[in-house]
Homo-oligomer: A and B are copies of this chain.
Amino acid sequence: MERSPTPRSVRQGRTSEELRRHNLSAILGALHEGGSRSRSELTRNTGLNRSTIATLVADLSQRGMVVEGPPKERSGPGRPSPEVHLSDVGPVVLAIDIGVDSIGLAVVGLGGQMRRHERVDLAPSRRKPEQVVRVIAELGRSLLPAPPEQRLAGIGVAVVGVARRRDGLVHFAPNLGWRDEPLADRLRAALETDVSIQVGNDADLGAIAEHRHGAGVGFANLVFLHGEVGVGAGVILDGRPIRGADGYFGEVGHVTVNPEGRPCQCGSRGCLETEIGELALLRAAGVEPARVGREAIDEVLDRAAAGDEAALRALREVGRWLGIGLSSIVNIFNPDVIVLGGFLARIHPHVEGQIGSTVGKRALPASRAGVQIVPSRLGVDATLLGAAELALAPVLADPTSVPTAVEAA
Binding site for B on A (CB under 8 A): 1-3, 5-14, 16, 19, 22-23, 25-26, 29-30, 33-34, 45-48, 52, 162, 171-172, 217-221, 237-239, 242-252, 254-259, 266-268, 324, 327-328, 331-336, 361-367, 369-372
Contact = CB atoms under 8 A, between A and B. Distances in A.
A221 B8 CA distance: 12
Given A10-B45, A11-B26, A267-B361, A172 B366 contact: yes
Given A246-B334, A327-B268, A331-B251, A10 B46 contact: yes
B45 A361 contact: no
Contacts of A6: 218-220
A244 B12 contact: no
B33 A8 contact: yes
A365 B256 contact: no
Given A259-B258, A336-B245, A366-B246, A34 B14 contact: no
A237 B9 CA distance: 13
B266 A364 contact: yes
Across the A-B interface, give the 5 residue pairs with the lowest CB-CB distance, nearest first.
A5-B218, A244-B334, A13-B48, A11-B26, A3-B370
5 contacts: A13-B22, A13-B26, A247-B334, A259-B324, A268-B327
B248 A220 contact: no
Contact of A372 (B2, B362, B366, B367): B2
A367 B251 contact: yes
A328 B269 CA distance: 12
B34 A239 contact: no
A254 B7 contact: no
Contact of A162 (B259, B327, B366): B366
Nearest to A233: B332
Contacts of A328: 254-256
A318 to B, nearest CB: 14
A150 to B, nearest CB: 27
A245 B370 contact: yes
Contacts of A10: 26, 29-30, 33-34, 45-46
A198 to B, nearest CB: 18
A220 B9 CA distance: 8
